Amino acid sequence: MNTEILSRIQFAFTIAFHYIYPPLSIGLGVVLVIMEGMYLRTGKQIYEQMTRFWIKIFALIFGIGVATGIVMEFEFGTNWAVYSRYVGDIFGSALAAEGIFAFALESGFLGILLFGWNRVSPRVHFFSTIMVALGSMFSAIWIVVANSWQQTPAGYRIEGEGMKARAVITDFWEMVFNPSSVDRLSHVIIGSFLAGSFLVLSVNAYYILRKRHLEIAKAGFKIALTVATVASLMQLFTGHRSADGVAKHQPAKLAAFEGHYDSSAVADMYLMGWTNADKREITGLKIPGGLSFLLHQDFTTPVKGLDAFPKEDRPSSRAVNVVFQTYHLMVAIGMALIGLSVLAVFLWWKGKLFEQKWLLQIFAWSVLLPQIANQVGWYSAEIGRQPWVVYGLLRTSDALSQSLKTEQVLFSLIMFTLVYTLLFVLFLYLLNKKIKHGPVDTHSEAIPDSSKRDNPILN
């Protein structure tokens, strides 16, 4: 194993782990705003109880998201020093903007969300919830902008040569609104709404099945179902727009998405399949000409295939299969989420939503689906960009820190693996515990007496 492979594994591992949490915070943030908004409007206690309950879960998720996010910020410099020098002029400003405009907002007001119940008025508390939710979305904006610039660079020029070469900003807004920013951002944000709302759906489905906290669970389920339905339908739209953008700006990646090798041929759309690098074809279930139709509204127009690019400028044949599989899994899950939420809304309309045990069982497990979709979607986006770290400009293999030694990366990779494993186990344990414990009747606890002070349940 060389330094490059190890560094790539380390980066992929740390970011994949980190990427479990921010989408949950973003989605949960929106659900929280609705819940607390309902509480302020109706004054009903169940909304207050569910808000308090979900804020505690939010804090747990947010805490791990922050801790693992700081790692990402510094890993660019530790492992990818050449990359950092190359893109600092551009990428750095997006990261700095994230810190100052988003992260500070989120972390500042989180304290009030958690500890401020008895110190600020309900309105100020609600305001803080909105700020935290907004902050988490602003974070996504800047991070996705930075990443999108790597996918479709714009608003820059290259200066210098060799080790001194770097991308220099020429137009800030062109950089921010590079060709893929808006599509990718909307896709990521909606994916986050799905992650958050399905967590709430899952937990509430579990409560309803167990006949616990029934009133709170049913009300919470309906709020989350509303968010989930709107989001899953919108995801169809943003997904299509993203794929369209990839076809225009990163054709080699799109060819990898669909395993399309031959530029002169009509492109089929596969529902599932397996790529065969030697025969340069896919075996699987397909809609003939489906991709051609999706991109050109015509079943017979050829689509640029992998063979249009030199071997060293496109994903390797092994990577193509990974990209193909992850991309298709993402699409399949997206469709499943639409089916699931639309079916549930239909039953709600019929007044039979909570009578279908099997459906609630599915919802109880459904929390995994958006998580998997977000993960594999990210893999296909990032692996599909290879061998480039900045598309068409800088190769991943050239981006590595020059002084880095294999044993250094091995040491840090092992350390992260151990720590993140521990972290994940603790996270699941505590999340499970909080869920088992469930929302509590807050009013009887509003004035804690001294005998309760060391009661662990109140801590």
- Of 101-140, which residues contact other proteins (CB under 8 A)? 101, 103-105, 107-112, 114-120, 131
Judged by CB under 8 A, the number of residues near other proteins is 80
CB nearer to other proteins: give 236 or 423. 423
Residue 440's φ and ψ, nearest 5 degrees, are -120, 160
Question: Cα–Cα distance between 75 and 3 in angstroms, integer?
Answer: 14
Query: Which residue in the set 91, 138, 327, 388 belongs to the binding site for other proteins (CB under 8 A)?
Result: 91
Question: Cα–Cα distance between 48 and 22 in angstroms, integer?
Answer: 24
Residue 371 is a binding residue for other proteins (CB under 8 A): no
DSSP character string of 34-100? HHHHHHHHH--HHHHHHHHHHHHHHHHHHHHHHHHHHHHHHHHHHH-HHHHHHHIIIIIHHHHHIII
Distances (CA, A) of 106 to 58, 100, 111, 376, 437: 12, 10, 9, 27, 27
Query: Which residue in the set 15, 85, 301, 410 belongs to the binding site for other proteins (CB under 8 A)?
Result: 85
Q: Angle, nearest 10°, between helix axes 21-42 and 181-210?
A: 70
Query: Which residue in the set 21, 58, 76, 138 belongs to the binding site for other proteins (CB under 8 A)?
Result: 76
Distances (CA, A) of 274 to 33, 258, 387: 43, 10, 22
Q: What residues between 12 and 71 interact with other proteins by CB under 8 A?
A: 59-60, 63-64, 66-71
Query: Which stretch of DSSP H or E encloses residue 389?
Result: strand 388-390
Question: Cα–Cα distance between 256 and 304 in angstroms, integer?
Answer: 11
CB nearer to other proteins: give 276 or 406. 406
Query: Which residue in the set 9, 15, 82, 347 belongs to the binding site for other proteins (CB under 8 A)?
Result: 82
Interface map 378-417 toward other proteins (x if CB under 8 A)? -----------------------xxxx---x--xx--xx-
State in angstroms the smallest separation of the CB of 208 from other proteins.
Answer: 26
CB nearer to other proteins: give 25 or 197. 25
State in angstroms the smallest separation of the CB of 49 from other proteins.
Answer: 13
Stretch that binds other proteins, among 217-225, 246-254, 356-364, 423-431 (CB under 8 A): 423-431
Asked whether 47 and 222 are in contact (CB, 8 A), the reply is: no
Query: Which residue in the set 74, 278, 300, 349 belongs to the binding site for other proteins (CB under 8 A)?
Result: 74
Residue 100 is a binding residue for other proteins (CB under 8 A): yes
Residue 435 is a binding residue for other proteins (CB under 8 A): no
Residue 302 is a binding residue for other proteins (CB under 8 A): no
State in angstroms the smallest separation of the CB of 299 from other proteins.
Answer: 47
Stretch that binds other proteins, among 90-98, 191-199, 246-254, 378-386 (CB under 8 A): 90-98
**Tokens 């693996």 -> residue:** 417
Residue 184 is a binding residue for other proteins (CB under 8 A): no
Residue 451 is a binding residue for other proteins (CB under 8 A): no
Longest Cα pair distance anywhere in the chain, in angstroms? 78
Stretch that binds other proteins, among 186-194, 232-240, 268-276, 442-450 (CB under 8 A): 442-450
The contacts of residue 243 (CB under 8 Å, 6+ apart) are 254, 257, 294, 295
Residue 454 is a binding residue for other proteins (CB under 8 A): yes
